[in-house]
């Protein structure tokens, strides 16, 4: 999961000068509708990832979960590629809509950030709070494995307990911060999508 952001390669399209009066409304309308369809694909991919992760946490199944992550990575890669291609097309002489190209690129940047932070959230949740993680017995020489847990619990000192509380607090704060980051990205994306919908309505009114 943490490899999501490493696998997604984003190539920035070249900038172009805006030229007044060279836009093709029908083609631009088609591109913007395609863009919204891709955003819907992204929403469905996130829903699939969320459900798959919940199943993984409930019942395990590492292989199935890794397969899901690979499928979702391919889907996000394809969506990113298509959005950047659309942004490049909007810069072409047939369209000359630098404003819309920048809008799509702004969405793409926020989507990239959202994906990175989402991957971080899943990694943190998979690890769990420090106090809830299983105790390692790798170096324990106890002759009765069945009582390992009890022995280790009673061996925890007051100082160790304080360190654990601090680790839990640090974990909680890190998780909250990343969640806020995702929420901020979602808010920015939704605002940009409203601009796209407004543009679509204006182009439809012209045709």
Which of residues 94 and 126 earns the better pLDDT score?
126
Please state the rounded mean pLDDT for residues 105-132. 94
User: pLDDT: is 206 or 40 the higher one?
Assistant: 40
| One-letter-per-residue 3-state SS of the chain | CCCHHHHCCCCCCCCCCCCCCCCCHHHHHHHHHHHHHHHHHHHHHHHHHHHHHHHHHHHCCHHHHHHHHHHHHHHHHHHHHHHHHHHHHHCCCCCCCHHHHHHHHHHHHHHHHHHHHHHHHHHHHHHCCHHHCCCCCCCCCCCCHHHHHHHHHHHCCHHHHHHHHHHHHHHHHHHHHHHHHHHHHHHHHHHHHHHHHHHHHHHHHHC
- 14: containing domain: 4-206
Give the integer Cα–Cα distance in Å for 14 and 102.
11
CATH number of the CATH domain containing 170? 1.20.1420
93-102, 149-158, 174-183 — which one is most confidently predicted on average?
Answer: 174-183
End-to-end CA distance of the chain: 45
Looking at residues 39-62, what average pLDDT do you find? Answer: 95
**Regarding predicted confidence, which is higher, 128 or 104?**
104
Asked if the model's pLDDT at residue 1 lies above 90, the reply is: no
pTM of the prediction?
0.76
Q: In total, how many domains does the chain have?
A: 1
Asked whether the predicted pLDDT for residue 26 surpasses 80, the reply is: yes
82 pLDDT band (50/70/90 cuts)? very high
Residue 166 has pLDDT above 90, yes or no: no
Please give the pLDDT value at position 176: 96
* pLDDT value of position 49: 96
In this model, does residue 177 exceed pLDDT 90? yes
């Amino acid at each position: 999961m943490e490899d999501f952001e490493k696998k997604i390669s984003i190539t920035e399209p070249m900038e172009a000068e805006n030229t007044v009066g060279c836009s093709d409304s029908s083609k631009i309308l088609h591109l913007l509708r395609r863009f919204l369809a891709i955003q819907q694909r992204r929403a469905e991919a996130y829903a699939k990832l969320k459900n798959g992760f919940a199943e993984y946490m409930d019942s395990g199944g590492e292989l199935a979960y890794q397969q899901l992550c690979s499928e979702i990575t391919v889907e996000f890669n394809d969506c990113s590629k298509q959005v950047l291609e659309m942004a490049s097309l909007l810069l072409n002489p047939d369209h000359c809509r630098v404003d819309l190209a920048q809008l799509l690129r702004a969405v793409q940047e926020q989507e990239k950030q959202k994906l990175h932070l989402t991957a971080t959230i899943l990694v943190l949740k998979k690890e769990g709070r420090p106090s809830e993680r299983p105790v390692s017995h790798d170096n324990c020489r106890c002759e009765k494995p069945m009582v390992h847990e009890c022995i280790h619990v009673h061996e925890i000192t007051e100082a160790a307990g304080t360190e654990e509380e601090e680790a839990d607090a640090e974990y909680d704060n890190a998780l909250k911060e990343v969640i806020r980051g995702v929420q901020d990205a979602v808010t920015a994306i939704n605002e940009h999508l409203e601009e796209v919908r407004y543009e679509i309505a204006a182009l439809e009114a012209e045709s």
